[in-house]
Chain A
Amino acid sequence: MTAFGKLIRTTAFRLTLVYLFLFALFAASLLGYFAWNTRRLITEQITSTVNAEVGEVTEIYNRRGLRGLVFTIGNRALRPGANLYLVTAPNGQAIAGNVGSLAPGVMGIEGWTETAYRRLDDNDNTDHRALVRVTEMTNGFRLLIGRDLEERRRLFGIVAKAAQWSILVVVVLGIGGGIFVARRVLQRIDAMTGTAQRIMAGDLSDRLPVGRSGDELDRLAENLNAMLERIEALMTGLKEVSDNIAHDLKTPLTRLRNRAEEALARAGSEAGYRAALERTIEESDGLIRTFNALLMIARAESGQARGNMDDFDAAEVAAGIHELYEPLAEDGGMSLHVVTGPSPLHGNRELISQALANLVENAIKYGKPVVQPIDPEAAAAAKEILIEARREDDSVLLSVADHGPGIPEADRKHVVERFVRLEASRTLPGSGLGLSLASAVATLHGGELRLGDADPGLIATLVLPARAGAADRLAGQTQDVPQKAA
């Protein structure tokens, strides 16, 4: 595409053309109105003057007869000016007046006519135009009084000229301005396109140029830059995640392979092979679990699970999870309790249950008190894990608190990431995905996972937006008093 072709294809240029057309139309109609009105005014002036004069002359004729008429006309015809007079006999012969010749047949039409004429005293041979009124006198004599139209024509000429010039100026200025504006816009757009192409080619750190005027293009560029910022952050995150995934999946795969190799090389007995195979199956089950958890997180993060949302009370979820894990906690030397109040939610029940289950599993695994208090009551309290579901303003809080070592403040942001496991927990079984999933589920529901200090211990809270409009319905229920179930 040529530079000019590109220019005239710009929106700015096309808009200019539209405005140009509109302005030209406006100027033309304004001048047209002016010309038409002037013309009307002049014509009215002519007719009224002529009418008055016809009246005067008719009266003279009535009073003083033909002689008086001819005398008056003769006198008036000699005055300089644009006035035309003619008196004709019944046979058509001119008796008095300053009109030399007329278009044929004009004298035959009574009333107003616009006609070409020549003055008697005019030496040039050009026709002029005039507006004349012909009146029939008695005895077949006819009187013509009129006025030359030169003045009107000149005025009209001036207006027409003005119209030509103004339209020319509008067009020239309009096209010039359009090209100027379009080129300016085009330059900036070209700069943006260039940057965008560089970014698409792989340089994600490049940013669009932002001017200082703060106009719509600058705002667009700013927003695109913010978008690029986000994309770059996501890409970096994704790369880290895939690196982590590669690392954390390779480790068990390597273990798997080593075991199979070892069994092949060493185990001679059937029992040996059997044991090796069983361990292999166990290890691959672990891998499958890890994969499932990863897929689940990916789905929650991409928002695909939004399809399966319904209304439910998080208190039921808390009670259900408590019921499921209570024996496990007890076996692990802990005690699991639940306290619930009405907590209306709209969401994916399955995912929220799983997120809460992950938090409880973590508490059971890692929430053992660091130091056993000697006082038996304090020792019992230290082993307590509390699941709580309650509503706070517009949020539903689903929390799990333990009295274990907790997570140092500096690490709290970090542990939510996939596969991150703190030094202290590396020796315990687990995939390092539990908190990631809980966090992804919270994000999916428009909430977040908060990790806090239970003093001592960890309190992990899923902060989720409460179901809108549920407050009224719940106000009547008697569940406001928290129920403690053991």
Chain B
Amino acid sequence: MRLLIIEDDRESADYLVKAFREVGYIADLADDGEEGLSMAESGDYDVLVVDRMLPKRDGLSLIGTLREKGNRTPVLILSALGQVDDRIKGLRAGGDDYLPKPYSFAELLARVEVLSRRNVGPAEETVYRVGDLELDRLSHRVARGKDELTLQPREFRLLEYLMKHAGQVVTRTMLLENVWDYHFDPQTNVIDVHISRLRSKIDKGFERPLLHTIRGAGYMIRDGIR
């Protein structure tokens, strides 16, 4: 995967480039808005990570210009402005996701991976399959092997989101945002409780667990390994 990081703070930019390279991605760096725009236009990137406040041209205007020219590369906005209305402003300008600073690299990585597969992935299939777990989005039927599973509506949506991003790490914040549509930060482990309920329904009594906890990051549904 090819990434372009547009960030003017040298230290955090270097950290990001290094961290992304360590997980095996190609990461390029632009340190002002103009350079970022021309690199984003010429290069063939899978995801752009754009800081909101940049010298020469600010992040939102950069995204707006790209979108006007028909460039649909997914964009993740990084910003020190983390409030609800700032996020809405960022998404309206053409951003695909918004992550307030300070963030953890695990959170950023998970979001970038989800964004990068938005273009190619199996997102709009009607039936999701992971191992012997099957979810039919139209009939709302969930089955593991031969067993039919009964899920609450919210559990269904939670599983649907996890299976849509099967094989990818999904963080707690991403779940809260995408399954519940809340953008605040609960002080308690609400999401973990929901996950453990879901887990007891889909994994309990089966030999191979599918829903895994990824330490320090979030959750992932996948078949294989362990």
Contact A331 B185 (CB under 8 A): no
A105 at the B interface (CB under 8 A): no
Whole-angstrom distance between the alpha carbons of A288 and B82 in the complex? 11
Stretch at the interface among B39-47, B64-72, B126-134, B186-194: B186-194
| CB-CB under 8 A for A295 and B83, given A328-B188, A361-B187 | yes
Tell me the complex Cα distance, A430–B187, Å.
7
* A320-B180 in contact given A327-B197, A328-B193 (Cβ < 8 Å): yes
Q: Is A323 an interface residue (CB 8 A)?
A: yes
Asked whether, in the complex, the Cβ of B180 is within 8 Å of the Cβ of A328, the reply is no
Can you identify 15 A-B contacts, CB atoms within 8 angstroms? A278-B216, A281-B104, A281-B216, A295-B82, A299-B83, A308-B84, A308-B88, A325-B190, A328-B190, A350-B84, A350-B182, A354-B184, A357-B182, A361-B186, A429-B187
Q: Is A434 an interface residue (CB 8 A)?
A: yes
Residues of B within 8 A of A307 (CB): 85
Counting contact residues on chain A (CB < 8 A from B), the size range is 35 or more
The answer to whether B185 and A324 have CB atoms under 8 Å apart is: no
In the complex, residue of chain B having the shortest beta-carbon distance to the beta carbon of A437: B184
Q: Does chain A have a CB within 8 A of B102?
A: yes
Q: Shortest CB–CB separation between residue B116 and chain A, in angstroms? A: 25
CA distance A350 to B190 in the complex (A): 17
> With A327-B194, A327-B197 as given contacts, are A305 and B184 in contact (CB-CB < 8 Å)?
no
Residues facing B in A341-359 (CB within 8 A) are 348, 350-351, 353-354, 357-358
Q: Which of A79-120 contact B (CB under 8 A)?
A: none
User: Is B154 in contact with chain A by the CB < 8 A criterion?
Assistant: yes
Mark each residue of chain A from 292 to 311: 1 if its CB lies under 8 Å from any CB of chain B, else 0.
10011001000011011000
Give the A-B contact count at a CB cut-off of 8 A. Answer: 64
> Beyond A327-B194, A327-B197, A328-B190, is A353–B85 a contact (Cβ under 8 Å)?
no
Out of A285, A296, A431, name the residue touching B83 (CB < 8 Å): A296
- Structural contact, B85 and A305, CB atoms closer than 8 A: yes
A226 to B194, CA, bound (A): 52
A350 touches B184 (CB 8 A): yes
Residue A289, interface by CB 8 Å:
yes
Find out whether the CB atom of A327 lies under 8 angstroms from the CB atom of B182: no
The answer for the CA separation of A244 and B197 in the assembled complex, in Å, is 39
In the complex, A364 has a CB within 8 A of chain B: yes
Chain A residues within an 8 Å CB radius of B82: 292, 295
User: Inside 8 A of A325's CB, which chain B residues have their CB?
Assistant: 190
- Chain B 145-156 interface 0/1 with A at a Cβ cutoff of 8 Å (1 = within): 000000000100
Q: Which residues of A contact B154 (CB under 8 A)?
A: 323
- Say whether B141 faces chain A, with CB atoms less than 8 Å apart: no
Please tell me if B183 contacts chain A, counting CB pairs below 8 Å: yes
Residues on A with C-beta less than 8 A from B185 are: 289, 292
Residues of A within 8 A of B102 (CB): 284, 288
A-B contact sample (6 more), CB < 8 A, given A305-B84, A308-B84, A327-B193: A281-B104, A292-B82, A296-B83, A305-B85, A350-B84, A431-B187
CB of B156, distance to nearest CB on chain A (Å): 13
B176 to chain A, nearest CB (A): 8
Q: How many residues of B contact A (CB 8 A)?
A: 23
A320-B187 Cα distance, complex, nearest whole Å: 17
Residues of A within 8 A of B190 (CB): 324-325, 327-328
Residue among B88, B100, B182, B188 making CB contact with A353, cutoff 8 Å? B182
Contact yes or no, B184 A353, CB < 8 A? yes
Kindly list chain A residues whose C-beta atoms are within 8 Å of the C-beta of B194. 324, 327
In this complex, the member of A288, A324, A357, A361 whose beta carbon has the largest number of chain B beta carbons within 10 angstroms is: A324
Which residues on A sit within 8 Å (CB–CB) of B187?
289, 358, 361, 429-431, 434
B180, B185, B190: which has the most chain A beta carbons within 10 Å? B190
Kindly state the separation between the CA atoms of A24 and B70 in the bound complex, as whole angstroms.
Answer: 77
Nearest CB of chain B from residue A4's CB, rounded to whole Å: 56
Residues of A within 8 A of B83 (CB): 295-296, 299, 305
Specify which of B100, B182, B189, B216 is in contact with A328 (CB 8 Å cutoff): B189
Give the docked Cα–Cα distance between A353 and B167 (Å). 32
Interfacial residues of chain B within 161-207, with CB under 8 A of chain A in the complex: 180, 182-190, 193-194, 197
A358 to chain B, nearest CB (A): 8
Smallest CB gap from A430: residue in B: B187
Least distance between B192 CB and chain A CB atoms (Å): 9
- Cross-chain contact A350 with B189 (CB below 8 angstroms): no
B180 / chain A contacts, CB cutoff of 8 Å: 320, 324
| Nearest CB in chain A: distance from B198 CB, A | 10
Complex Cα spacing A304 to B85, Å:
9
Q: How far is the CA of A308 from the CA of B89 in the complex (A)?
A: 11
Residue of B nearest to A365 (CB): B188
Q: For the complex, what is the distance from the CA of A307 to the CA of B77, rounded to whole Å?
A: 21
| Residues 19-52 of chain A, each 1 if its beta carbon lies under 8 Å from chain B, else 0 | 0000000000000000000000000000000000
A327 to B187, CA, bound (A): 15
In the complex, the chain A residue whose C-beta lies closest to that of B103 is A288
Alpha-carbon separation in the docked complex, A431 to B185 (Å): 13
Contacts of B193 in A (CB 8 A): 327-328, 331
Tell me, in angstroms, the Cα distance from A354 to B185 when the chains sit together: 8
In the assembly, what is the distance between CA of A308 and CA of B184, in Å? 15
Digit string of B43-81 for contact with A (CB within 8 Å is 1, else 0)?
000000000000000000000000000000000000000
What does the 1/0 interface line of A144-187 toward B look like (CB < 8 Å)?
00000000000000000000000000000000000000000000
Closest to B194 in A: A327
Which residues on B sit within 8 Å (CB–CB) of A348?
Answer: 84
Q: Could you tell me the distance between the alpha carbons of A476 and B100 in the complex, rounded to whole angstroms?
A: 43
Chain B residue at minimum C-beta to C-beta distance from A329:
B193
| Nearest CB in chain A: distance from B162 CB, A | 16
Nearest residue (CB) in A for B186 is: A357
Question: Which residues of B lie under 8 Å from residue A354 when comparing CB positions?
Answer: 182, 184
* Centre residue among A296, A365, A429 by max chain B CB count within 10 A: A296
- How near does chain B come to A349, taking the closest CB pair, in angstroms? 9
Residues of A close to B216: CB separation below 8 A? 278, 281
A358–B193 CA distance with the chains assembled, in angstroms:
17
* Across-interface contacts of A304 in B (CB, < 8 A): 85
Q: Which residue of B lies closest to A320 (CB)?
A: B180
A362 (CB) vs chain B CBs: closest residue: B187
